[in-house]
Structure 1
Amino acid sequence: MKIKKYTGADMREVMALIKKEMGSEAIILETRKVRQKGILGFFLPRLIEVTAAKEENFQQNFWAGHLETAHSKKIESDIKELKTMMENVMSRQDKSQDPHKGGVLEHIHRRLLDNEIDREIACQLIEEIGRDFPDNELTESQVNSLIQDKIGRRLKVIKFNGQRNIFCFVGPTGVGKTTTLAKLAAHFAIFKEKRVGLITIDTYRIGAVEQLKTYAQLMGLPIEVVMSPKELSRAIEDMKDLDIIMIDTAGRNSKNHMQIGEIKGFLKVVPGAVIFLVLSVTTKCKDLITIADNFKPADYNSLIFTKLDETDTFGSILNLTSYTSLPVSYLTIGQKVPEDLEIATEERLTSLILGVGK
């Protein structure tokens, strides 16, 4: 890995130097203000010093990671197949002991599991119906209707009509936070005719800042790049006359508690903000729960699920909303801005979770 320090009068000058020498894949390790050299440095404006790094063996690591992923997927597939065989054997063994086995409820229960709904939640849903209705009194259509109603009651959604709000976006790397922010900015600025301003504290990757600046320019929106909570507070004050302010944060490894703490430090100066935890539905349920737990210091209060176009099972939405007891606000179904954005509704979420709508 190549590591180098760059200095300049402002962030834009330093970023231009880094991009010219290292390219857009450069990673920002540290940013600070330093005095200029010599005695006169005490009287002159401070310079911006940025420590940047670039992985020189990217291509090799890329293919190594893909080979490892392919191997892991093969093992996971084998384990899943073995698990299914064992469940089928156990199902045949205890069918005579459970009046629901082999009936309509059993068929619906299997469908819930196939859509990756947590086993405990699936059992609770079936048991609730079984207590009220004997299996032989219900048709599959009736059970489907009851299941949809019960899942809908477990879900929460929250809608924003463009009233004065500050939206913050937090989450792990690679889930599409910046693109999601751009879709929402376009939704409110273009379709709702609201005055929208953008702020980014994501100076970790040069490409992220430039991506958001490009979106802001295309939509004619003001944008600020800040490096400290104090600068964030000032930027918010400068945009106080706008209807909506959207704040982008750097994608962080949820297991890195120091990085999560940095985000918390920024968000402390934004009391009363709507803080979205942005998650990909392609992430394993166990990992989603770990991410949700580790991002708790950020005090998020709503959920956004992305990449719905990259999977066919959405049980993790019900699993995580049940775990966090938080509402879902938006869904994204692709990369196009602003088209691939949906406002979450109970009906849409229920259809996805049951595998009857994508």
Structure 2
Amino acid sequence: MRVKRYVVDSMPEALGKIRTELGQDAIILNSKPIKTGGFFGLFGKQQIEVIAAIDEKTSERDDPPIRQQEMRSGPNTFAAKQAYQRSAAPTQPMSAERQKQVVPSAAQPFGSQAAASEQSQPDRTSADAEPVRTGKAAVAENEELVHELRDMRNMFQKWLMNDRGNHLPPPVQAVRERLLQQEVEEETAAEIVKELLLQSEHPEQLSEPEAFQRTAVILDNMLQKAMERPVRIAPSVKYVFFFGPTGVGKTTTIAKLAADSMLKEKRKIGFITADTYRIAAVEQLKTYANILNVPLEVVFSPKEIVQAMERLSSCDLVFIDTAGRNFRNDQYVQGISELVRYGGNSVNYLVLSLTSKYTDLKAIIRNFQDVPITQVIFTKADETEAYGAILNVARSTDLSFSYITTGQNVPDDIVVATPRLVAKMILGDKAYA
């Protein structure tokens, strides 16, 4: 199957080129008015984009002498010129109704369009008529071609945004570079830039601060769904579970939230740790327990957690630290699932480090998909300069975000994750300059 794209000033020109280059068996997959010469079609010269295709197997069955004769004779565009004469002038804007009359429908056989043009000329003599092929073999593959065309367009858009960003207005190009530097996925960055261009009547006149401000609003809208749930632990919640890979900062995060709940909300706090695998893990949480003067229970298996919960039944809120091990270990994830099921009215936090690569974050989330995750806490924001992973996770999952930790100080270095905050982290101070 051979597919070719034409950008022309009029349909007669397109029909002539298609007949000459692809032959009478070609089909037109799609045609639409476009603007060229501007930034992504937002302004510029009015033209027509035509996508045509030919089934090479059908083409091979044609009689070569006849094909050569047709090509030598050149396209007879009399009927096409008569049918599309009003659209031939590129300076004339076309109405929606007129476009329906002028622009052929997607995947309509080329021969059928020629026949339709001939029918529109009742006074045309038989001498003027040309033989028209039906193109049945190509029509039979219409559905497959439509899918192929859609894939081609997606690839074209991605190529256009990724490899030709230097053709963007400088302020928009600065936004794009910032997004990629922040490790925002290329597809998401392309979507943001496209939205920024569509929102700007004259994108070439944007200043850089204005471009960043408008991008911040776009990011805010993208992040709203991930941050719409209440962050505060409800009074009805009894148990709070923390799980995630090793070294993400679960224990320190527990200490921060426990101190906040005790000092600001006056709740009676208790600790349970199941992290008996990591060296000094119990001692770390025990140190925090002594500072806050709260009880601590240590469990070595999921079954022991029931007794630990009973011993802490007088507490308003119990924070449970799970072992941080290799998230690819299925037994570890199963153990987390078993622990969590003992907590009835609980909140379950998946803790992720912003120093991790996004590919690793996706794998972590996928491996914990059988654990009921209430919200996500992002840690170690102070140890990286790239925050695009937050947006990537928001775009690729239905998870809700709660907190972002910004250092080791207890209980201060933790903030509520908001769309405005994340947008500013990604875009920098320019977002609200």
**TM value normalised by structure 1:** 0.69
Once the 2 structures are TM-superposed, how far is the Cα of residue 130 of structure 1 from its aligned partner? Answer: 1.8
Counterpart secondary structure, 1:297: coil
Q: Distance in 2 between matches of 1:308 and 1:297?
A: 27
Equivalent pairs counted in the alignment come to 266
Structure 1 103/260 Cα, relative in aligned 2: closer, same or farther at 3 Å?
same
Q: Name the structure 2 match of 1:142.
A: 210
Is the counterpart of residue 324 in structure 1 residue 397 in structure 2? yes
Q: Name the structure 2 match of 1:234.
A: 307
Per-residue Cα deviation, 1:18-77 (whole angstroms, up to 9, x for no partner):
xxxxxxxxxxxxxxxxxxxxxxxxxxxxxxxxxxxxxxxxxxxxxxxxxxxxxxxxxxxx
User: Which of 270, 274, 287 is the aligned partner of 2:347?
Assistant: 274
Superposition map of 1:174-185 within 5 A? 174-185=247-258
Q: Distance in 1 between matches of 2:220 and 2:408?
A: 28
Q: Distance in 2 between matches of 1:309 and 1:345?
A: 17
Q: Distance in 2 between matches of 1:149 and 1:132?
A: 11
Structure 1 89/307 Cα, relative in aligned 2: closer, same or farther at 3 Å?
closer
**TM value normalised by structure 2:** 0.57
Per-residue Cα deviation, 1:246-292 (whole angstroms, up to 9, x for no partner):
11000021111121111111111113421111111111111111111
Q: Distance in 1 between matches of 2:279 and 2:382?
A: 27
Is the counterpart of residue 112 in structure 1 residue 179 in structure 2? yes
Q: Name the structure 1 match of 2:136.
A: none
| Residue ranges of structure 2 left out of the alignment (5+ in a row) | 1-159
1:168 touches 1:248 (CA, 8 Å); kept in 2? yes
2:375 touches 2:402 (CA, 8 Å); kept in 1? yes
Q: Name the structure 1 match of 2:232.
A: 160
Could you say which structure has the larger radius of gyration?
2
Q: Distance in 2 between matches of 1:272 and 1:148?
A: 37
Once the 2 structures are TM-superposed, how far is the Cα of residue 228 of structure 1 from its aligned partner? Answer: 2.9
Counterpart secondary structure, 1:254: coil
2:302 touches 2:338 (CA, 8 Å); kept in 1? yes
Q: CA RMSD in A?
A: 2.4
Amino acid at match of 1:164: S
Q: Distance in 2 between matches of 1:195 and 1:164?
A: 13
Is the counterpart of residue 243 in structure 1 residue 316 in structure 2? yes
Once the 2 structures are TM-superposed, how far is the Cα of residue 328 of structure 1 from its aligned partner? Answer: 1.6
Once the 2 structures are TM-superposed, how far is the Cα of residue 191 of structure 1 from its aligned partner? Answer: 2.9
1:115 touches 1:355 (CA, 8 Å); kept in 2? no
**Identical-pair percentage:** 38
Superposition map of 1:60-209 within 5 A? 90-91=163-164, 95=167, 101-134=168-201, 135-155=203-223, 156-157=226-227, 158-160=230-232, 163-165=235-237, 166-209=239-282
Counterpart secondary structure, 1:197: strand
Amino acid at match of 2:218: K
1:174 touches 1:251 (CA, 8 Å); kept in 2? yes
Is the counterpart of residue 265 in structure 1 residue 265 in structure 2? no
Once the 2 structures are TM-superposed, how far is the Cα of residue 314 of structure 1 from its aligned partner? Answer: 0.8
Once the 2 structures are TM-superposed, how far is the Cα of residue 89 of structure 1 from its aligned partner? Answer: 11
Q: Distance in 2 between matches of 1:243 and 1:152?
A: 35
Counterpart secondary structure, 1:298: coil
Structure 1 220/89 Cα, relative in aligned 2: closer, same or farther at 3 Å?
closer
